[in-house]
A and B are shown apart, each in its own frame.
Chain A
Amino acid sequence: MLTRRVVGLLLAALGLTVLPARAQSGRDIQFFSEGVVCHGRMFVPSGFSATSKAAAVVLAPGAGDTASTIESYAARLASQGLVALVIDYRGWGRSGAFIYMAEPIRWDDRLRFSQHTAKVRLRRKRLIPEAQITDIRNAITYLQGEPGVDRTRLGVWGADLAGGHAVSVAAMDARVKAAVAHAPVIAGKDQPRAAWKPMAAEQADMVRLARLGASTVTAATAGTANDPESRLALAQYRPFHALDAIPQTTAVLFVVGGNETALNAETAVAASKTVKGPTAVTTIPGAPHVMSAAASDAAATAAAAWFAKHLVGP
C-alpha cells in the first residue's frame, strides 16, 4: 500500500502517463437512489479483497455526460490503490428513469406500501443538480457497504458541473474526507448569498410547470438549458456558496486546464481560497476544458495522488 502510494506520488510528480500494469475493466453494479435503479461501474486495485481496508471514491460525470466517459479516471485511481466507482445519475445513461404516475390511483396512507399495474411516465435526461447530488451520496453509501472498503476513507471526484457537485457533497456530507473538482464549473462566485429571486421569464416558467406539470421536452432540448426545468434548476445552483461549510478536515483539490475559460479558472482559484481545510489548485498545462487523453491522464494522476495523500489509513 505504502509502496503503491509512493509510486503514485512519483508518477504524479513526474507527470507520467503510464497505463496501469493490469488493465482495469471494472465491474457493473447497481444501487438504488430514491427508488430508481442506478448504474455504476466499480474499479478495484489489484490484490483487493473483502478483507482489504481500501479507501474509495465516487466519480461523477459532468453535465450531459455518462459514466462511460469517465471510466479512464476510475481505472487510474484503482491503479493507485483506490476503489473507484463511476456512476450514471438517475435518468441518464444506463440508470433508470425518473418515475411519475400517469393515471389516477387511489391510495390510503394506512397502507404504506401498495403494488399496482399502472401507467407511469418515465422521464430521462433531466439535468437537476439536487437529484444528482443525492445520487452521488447514495453511491457513497453503496461503497460503505462494499466488503473491503474502509467506510471512513471516502472521496468524491466530479467533472465539469459535477466539480460543483463534489464541493456541494463535501459541504453537506461529513463522510467525505477528500474531494477533487476536475475542470469544475462552480456557479455563484459573483452572486450574493441570498434567497433566489427569479427574473420575470423564470417566474413564468415556474408558474407554468406548477400548473401544467412537466414541460414539453423533445429529444433535442432534454438535459440542456433549453429545457425550462433544467434551466431553472441550474439558475438556482450556486455551489460556490457551499464552500465555507466544507469541514476543516476535508481536503479539496481543484484540477484546472491551463487553457480553461478565464471564468472557470478564476473561480477555481477563488474557490480554493475559500476552503478552510487542505486545498490546492493543480493546473494541467495547455489543456482546455475538455481535455485530451494525455491531459486527462495527467489530471487523473493528480487526482489519484490527492486521494492517496488525504484518504490516509489509520
Chain B
Amino acid sequence: MLSRTSSLPPCRAIRAAALAWAVVLGTPAAPASAQISADILQKYKADLDRQTTDPDQKREGGTQPRDWNYDLPAGVTTRQVTFYVDGGTALYGKMFFPRGFSARGRYPAVVVGHGINALSIGIEKYAARFADRGLVAMAIDYQSYGFSSSGSDDLRLLEADATTDDRPATEKTVRLLLKRTNLNNVHEVSDFRAAISFLQGEPGIDPDRIGIWGSSNGGGVVTAVAGVDARVKAVVAQVATPRPGPRRAVNIAPANLEDAIVRVRQGQGAEVDGGFSFRSKIDQWSNTRNQDVQGGAWLDQVTTTTAVLFLPAEKDELTRGAEGAIEAAKFLAGRGVTSQTIVLPGLTHFQAYSYAGFEVGSTLAADWFLKHLGGGPAPRSSAQQE
C-alpha cells in the first residue's frame, strides 16, 4: 500500500486528497440524510447572543458549581454502578435510564465522559438530558478521579514486593501510597472502552448501538476511541478540535526529560497546576504522556460504521476556535465516514456547558445519537439500515 517513493506519507496523501475534494464540492461526502438539522441555532439565537454579552454568563478558566445542577427529568431513573478496567481497577459510573425503560428491551446507550482534570458530577446533566430523550446514558469518572479508584501509575507499594511468577495473583495487606488526579489520556481511552464493554453486557441495552460523548480533552479522547474501537457507532466531541495530522513520534521537552528521569528513579516527579473547573495538581509528566493519544492522527482508522459529530465553540480560547474540528469532519467525510461539524456561535470554551450553550449542545448531541443509533427499545429503525 505504501509506495516508498511517494513524497507524502499515506495518511497525509489521503488527507490532502480529502481536503481538496471538500474544498471543491463544499459539502461532506455523506448523504444529506445522515446530517442533523442545525435549526436550533436560530431558535436560540437571542439566548446565544445574550450569553456572549451577559457578564453573569461569562465563563473563564472553568465552569462554576451552579452550572452542574439539573433537575432529574420526570420518569428518568438512575443507578450508580462499578465497572472494571485494566485487569481489575474499579471505576464509577452513574447510569440514567429513560422513561419506560425495560430490561427486556434493546435500548441504545451512550458513555458520557468529562474533560481535563474534571469530574462526572460536572457533566452528568448531559447524561440526564440524553435519558430524557430516550437513550440510556452513563456518566463516568476516569481512573484516579472522583468516585473511581486509583490504578496503574496511581498505586505504589511502600514495602518490598515479594511476589514471584509462581503465583499469578496474591492478596495481601501492605503499606500503600495512593495517588489521585493523574491526568492520563492513554488510561482515559481504556476507561471509555471498559465503559462500552460494561454497557454491552447490561440487560436492556443493544450492544450494537453504543455511542460516546466527550467534552474538551474528553472530546479528543472519544475521537481516539473511535479510531481504535469499531464497537462505537456514534461519537459526539464537544469543544474539541482533533485536527487531522500524521502519526508522530513524541519528543520530550528538555525540562520534562529531567522530570521524567526523577520519576523513573524515585517513583514520583514534579507536579504542575491542573485546570480547570476542578483545580488540582497533576504530574508534570502528563504533558508528555498525553501526546501518546493522537486523536487527529487516528482519524484515518475510524470505520464507516461510526458517525462523528463535532460541536466546537467559535471563540474557543483553548482550541483557538473551531477550525480543527471543521478540518477533522471534512477529513472523515472524505474517507466516507459520516461526520458533521456544528459550530456554537460566539461561545467560548466553558460557555458550552451552561445556559443556551448547554441547551443547544445537549440537544444536538442527542439528535446525533438518535439519528445514528436509532431511538427506543426496538432494533434499528429502517432509516438506520444501510
Contact B201 A207 (CB under 8 A): yes
B residues in contact with A193, CB < 8 Å: 300-301
Q: How far is the CB of B296 from chain A (nearest CB, A)?
A: 13
Contact of B249 among A66, A98, A107, A245 (CB under 8 A): A245
Contact of A109 among B2, B146, B151 (CB under 8 A): B146
A residues in contact with B263, CB < 8 Å: 32, 141
A250 and B278 CA atoms in complex are apart in Å by: 41
Q: Given the known A-B contacts A35-B153, A101-B149, A145-B264, are A172 and B250 also in contact in the complex, defined by CB atoms under 8 Å?
A: yes
A244 and B83 CA atoms in complex are apart in Å by: 36
A218 and B166 CA atoms in complex are apart in Å by: 10
Q: How far is the CB of B156 from chain A (nearest CB, A)?
A: 4
Contact of A112 among B170, B179, B246 (CB under 8 A): B179
B248 at the interface (CB under 8 A from A): yes
Contact A100 B88 (CB under 8 A): yes
Number of A-B contacts (CB under 8 A): 249
Contact A120 B207 (CB under 8 A): no
Contact B200 A207 (CB under 8 A): yes
Contact B266 A211 (CB under 8 A): no
A-B contact pairs, 17 of them (CB 8 A): A33-B264, A34-B152, A100-B88, A101-B155, A109-B278, A112-B271, A113-B177, A113-B179, A117-B175, A119-B174, A120-B172, A142-B261, A144-B257, A193-B300, A206-B200, A219-B167, A222-B168
A123 at the interface (CB under 8 A from B): yes
B49 at the interface (CB under 8 A from A): no
Q: Given the known A-B contacts A112-B281, A195-B226, A245-B248, are A208 and B201 also in contact in the complex, defined by CB atoms under 8 Å?
A: yes
A22 at the interface (CB under 8 A from B): no
A residues in contact with B252, CB < 8 Å: 174-175
Chain B interface helix/strand/loop/mixed: mixed
Contact B157 A96 (CB under 8 A): yes
Contact of B87 among A100, A110, A120, A242 (CB under 8 A): A100
Q: Given the known A-B contacts A35-B156, A113-B179, A198-B231, are A100 and B168 also in contact in the complex, defined by CB atoms under 8 Å?
A: no
B36 at the interface (CB under 8 A from A): no
Shortest Cβ distance from A230 into B: residue: B87
B385 at the interface (CB under 8 A from A): no
Contact A211 B265 (CB under 8 A): no
B16 at the interface (CB under 8 A from A): no
Interface string of B239-260 (1 = CB under 8 A from A): 0000000111111100001001
Contact B250 A116 (CB under 8 A): no
A93 at the interface (CB under 8 A from B): yes
Residues of chain A having any CB pair with chain B under 8 Å: 31-37, 66, 92-93, 96-102, 105, 107-126, 128, 130-131, 138-139, 141-142, 144-145, 151, 170-176, 193-198, 203, 206-214, 217-219, 222-223, 229, 236, 242, 244-247, 250, 273-274, 276
Q: Given the known A-B contacts A35-B153, A142-B264, A196-B229, are A112 and B180 also in contact in the complex, defined by CB atoms under 8 Å?
A: yes
Contact A195 B246 (CB under 8 A): no
Q: Of residues A107, A142, A197, which shows the largest number of chain B Cβ atoms within 10 Å of its Cβ? A: A107
B171 at the interface (CB under 8 A from A): yes
A residues in contact with B20, CB < 8 Å: none
Shortest Cβ distance from A96 into B: residue: B161
Q: How far is the CB of A212 from chain B (nearest CB, A)?
A: 7
B317 at the interface (CB under 8 A from A): no
B residues in contact with A209, CB < 8 Å: 84, 87, 194, 197
B326 at the interface (CB under 8 A from A): no
Q: Given the known A-B contacts A119-B173, A121-B171, A142-B264, are A210 and B83 also in contact in the complex, defined by CB atoms under 8 Å?
A: yes
Contact B88 A32 (CB under 8 A): no
Q: How far is the CB of A115 from chain B (nearest CB, A)?
A: 6
Q: Of residues B88, B150, B176, which shows the largest number of chain A Cβ atoms within 10 Å of its Cβ? A: B88
Contact of A35 among B155, B172, B257, B271 (CB under 8 A): B155
Shortest Cβ distance from B184 into A: residue: A34
B residues in contact with A173, CB < 8 Å: 249-250
Contact B154 A35 (CB under 8 A): yes
B60 at the interface (CB under 8 A from A): no
Lowest 7 A-B CB distances belong to which pairs? Answer: A210-B197, A145-B261, A207-B201, A222-B168, A245-B247, A34-B153, A197-B230
Shortest Cβ distance from B229 into A: residue: A195
